[in-house]
Chain A
Amino acid sequence: MSAQRPARGNSARKNALLFAAVAVLFIGTGFVQSWNSSLGILNMALISAIMALGVNLQWGYAGLFNIGVMGFVALGGLAVVITSSVPLQDAWRAGGPGIVLSLVLGAATIGAAIVVYQKLSRGRLRGVVVLAVLVLGFVIYRAVFDPAASAVEANSPHNAGNIGGFGLPVLLSWPMGGVFAAVAAWAIGKTALGLRSDYLAIATLGIAEIIISVMKNEDWLARGVKNLISLPRPVPYEVNLQKDPGFLAWATDWSLDPVTTSSIIVKLSYAGLFGAVLLVVVVLSELALKSPWGRMMRAIRDNEVAAEAMGKDVTRRHLQIFILGSAVIGVAGAMMTTLDGQLTPGTYQPLRFTFLIWVMVIVGGSGNNWGSVLGGFLIWWLWVMVEPIGLLLMDGITAGLADGSALKVHLQDAAAHMRLLTMGVILLFVLRFSPKGLIPEK
């Protein structure tokens, strides 16, 4: 809101330049390294940009401090497994209904406890009854759940042991990822959104850790840390392309190496799919931001008391945007698991899946969707490239040391950890010298 705001055309030119600069990074990687790796980075950058848009919805539009991004990403991944992995009839017959029943019973217990809490008047009786309902419900839940889960896990544990999926097309799992994340966000939002900003942060951090530990330990769900591999793909397999006579003829026509070309084509098709989703999310977010709803959100963010006085239901709006943002993150999580072709709960780490996304949003410019997209591309490129660059740097620094000296080996190993340091330095520099980010909110 400063008086000397740059003219609109000026800032548009600056933004175009910033995007062009990031494009140069990716094209440069294509020329210097290989197009294969450049496209590989681009695909994850597209997904990261969508995650950053989700965080931007929550933080940039509404000032909600969610550091449980990792949990929603993982739920999106789980949605892929449930929606599209092969159905396992035996496993379902062994324990499916039991598990569903127990989960319903568990939810009913919590619901009953809430009802009792609301109906009874304050006092010792209420506490005792609520506790009794919870304990009884927990015992019944375990009694139904335990045998069913072990029955599912006993079903050929070496290659399955999970409940299986619905075998639906994998593209359908992307919206399902959004739904999964939205349901979780509703439950979290209902309990934690009334809290102050840093409490919400700690609550979301905790939920994310719990979601990951459930996915690691509940083998019946998606095989836990045994990982679930060979999920279906929305694009052709490289090997099949290489056997396809039409493709081979086309490749020889253009005198291209069929192996490299097939992998580039697969990556390009992914990029097309991800790009389309990104475009939809950006356009919808921009429309929402410019609508009366978006203005109301920003009004609430900037002055909650005033907005409440104007008759806006702050809690409901917060819940709404918390669910929306989490759903966007869930979609991106499903896309990522589809790209990987496997669900590996052991690899979800908060530094990579929560805080890195936050760096993207802050560096890009909180409150600005294009900023989040730019931040997603730039930071993801850096995250990947800092390691080889750091290694080069370390080679330079240690060139004078004798080969095999302990210090040299240590320094070269340590180059792998340069990325955290770099991200921290970038975040602090942006916060200090350009707190509105590369593309500030208008």
Chain B
Amino acid sequence: MDFLNAIITFANFVFIPGLAYGAQLALGALGVTLIYGILRFSNFAHGDTMAFGTMVTILVTWALQSVGISFGVLPTALLALPVGIVVTALFVLGTDRLVYRFYRKQKAAPAILVIVSLGVMFIMNGIVRFIIGVDEQNFADGGRFLITAGEFKTATGLAEGLAIKTTQGITLISAVIVCAALFWFLNKTRTGKSMRAFSDNEDLALLSGINPERVVQVTWIITAGLATIAGVLYGLDKSFKAFTYFQLLLPIFAAAIVGGLGNPLGAIAGGFVIAFSEVTVTYAWKKVLTYALPDSLAPEGLIQLMSTDYKIAVSFTILIIVLLFMPTGLFKGKSV
């Protein structure tokens, strides 16, 4: 019984939150890795693209709520999501046309493109703050839990409960659908294949008649979709605050690099590696160990390796270790 309780506690506080967070990071990292693969620079505006997409979705959600439309037990934001994706896609296509294309034609150095993306980041951050402000926004509605801790306890008779939030369930399901759709697109469709060809060898792709501008446009549209979905899922699960999305940049980059920049499969793996490391290192293991170990060995302290405030240090440490010992990431990325 104690052993089961230990497992349930572990699932409740480590496994399920880590899984949801990992899925959010993976979706974010997919966007970063696609931009890196096709446009060949690290897009520092990605966090703010997520914030922008989430902001549009929130505004549409509010509009829907005000006319009395809801989505039953599911959050209304899911109905608003397509609008958010379209607006964000138009916005990033606009920035590409106005800003990035010029440097692409010039074949500017990656560092210059990164600085340019910093400029775009400033502007997007400014727009988001301008429109929705800096306050925390809670926009999750519908059912709160798939299973509450209390229901779980009465159903199983265990001392520990297992709570699964609706948003966590939605996060996982949508992440699976999005990833499956993305891989189907990249591997089976003509456009997707031309994207992969362009990423592998630009010159060869150009010679075989692939239109680079079209590849770039499709990449931006997909990235906008991924960023908006990731941002909305994160916002539903936690809450929306313009500034936190900027801070997600580090774990997202860590995930993309750990997996191997430019490699979509790696981005997903990297997202979960980073998420589970952050959660396990900052979780206080006392309760789980008390259940799992015999009484004589039960721990006295909290058994917390690091306080939760340092979770950023965890993703950073993993990032550095991977960069130093396997610079192309767990899965072979294209970066040297």
Contact = CB atoms under 8 A, between A and B. Distances in A.
Interface stretch (A202-210, A276-284, A292-300, A373-381): A202-210
Interface in A149-207: 191-192, 195-199, 201-203, 205-207
A209 B247 contact: yes
Contact of A431 (B119, B131, B249, B312): B119
B129 A201 contact: no
Interface in B55-113: 99, 102, 110-112
Interface string B123-150: 1111101110110000000000000000
B336 A196 contact: yes
Nearest to A361: B115
B313 interface: yes
Given A197-B111, A217-B309, A417-B126, A424 B121 contact: yes
Contacts of A359: 122
B115 A417 contact: no
B296 interface: no
Interface stretch (B2-10, B203-211, B318-326): B318-326
Interface string A400-441: 000000000000011001111111110110011001000000
A387 B307 CA distance: 38
A350 B257 CA distance: 21
A358 interface: yes
Given A196-B336, A202-B253, A209-B250, A421 B319 contact: no
A247 interface: no
B316 interface: yes
Given A198-B114, A210-B316, A421 B123 contact: yes
A199 B129 contact: no
B41 interface: yes
A393 to B, nearest CB: 13
Given A413-B133, A414-B130, A431 B123 contact: no
B230 interface: no
A417 B316 CA distance: 30
Contacts of B152: none
Contacts of A132: none
B131 A414 contact: yes
A420 B130 CA distance: 10
B130 A206 contact: no
A418 B124 CA distance: 11
B142 to A, nearest CB: 27
B116 interface: yes
Contacts of B41: 198
B335 interface: yes
B312 A213 contact: yes
Chain A interface mostly helix, strand, loop or mixed?
Answer: helix
A165 to B, nearest CB: 24
Contacts of B119: 424-425, 427-428, 431
Given A63-B111, A198-B42, A213-B309, A427 B118 contact: yes
A421 B127 contact: yes
Among B102, B115, B125, find the residue whose CB has the most chain A CB atoms closer than 10 A: B115
Given A355-B122, A428-B116, A431-B116, A203 B310 contact: no
A421 B111 contact: no
A306 to B, nearest CB: 17
Contacts of A203: 316, 319-320, 323
A413 B134 CA distance: 11
A205 B126 contact: no
User: Chain B contact residues (Cβ within 8 angstroms of A): what range?
Assistant: 35 or more
A424 B122 contact: yes
A427 B133 contact: no
B280 to A, nearest CB: 14
Nearest to B327: A195
Contacts of B120: 424, 428
A431 B110 contact: no
Interface string B33-57: 0000000011010000000000000
B13 interface: no
Among B127, B131, B254, B323, find the residue whose CB has the most chain A CB atoms closer than 10 A: B323
Given A206-B319, A428-B120, A217 B307 contact: yes
A141 to B, nearest CB: 12
Nearest to A355: B118
Interface in B285-329: 305, 307, 309-310, 312-313, 315-316, 319-320, 323-324, 327
B246 interface: yes
Contacts of A425: 119, 123
Contacts of B127: 421
A196 B122 contact: no
Among B116, B122, B126, find the residue whose CB has the most chain A CB atoms closer than 10 A: B122
A238 to B, nearest CB: 33
B116 A65 contact: no
Interface string A203-226: 101110110011011000000000
B123 A198 contact: no
Contacts of B243: 349
B329 to A, nearest CB: 11
A351 interface: yes
Given A201-B42, A213-B309, A420-B129, A207 B316 contact: yes
Interface string A303-334: 00000000000000000000000000000000
Given A213-B309, A414-B133, A198 B122 contact: no
A213 B319 contact: no
A423 B320 contact: no
Nearest to B111: A197
27 contacts: A196-B335, A196-B336, A198-B42, A198-B110, A199-B323, A199-B335, A201-B42, A202-B42, A203-B323, A205-B249, A206-B250, A217-B309, A217-B310, A351-B246, A355-B122, A414-B129, A414-B131, A417-B126, A421-B122, A421-B123, A423-B122, A424-B120, A424-B123, A427-B118, A431-B112, A431-B119, A432-B99
Given A195-B327, A202-B250, A418-B130, 12 more contacts: A198-B111, A213-B313, A216-B309, A217-B307, A349-B243, A351-B125, A351-B246, A359-B122, A413-B133, A417-B130, A421-B127, A424-B120
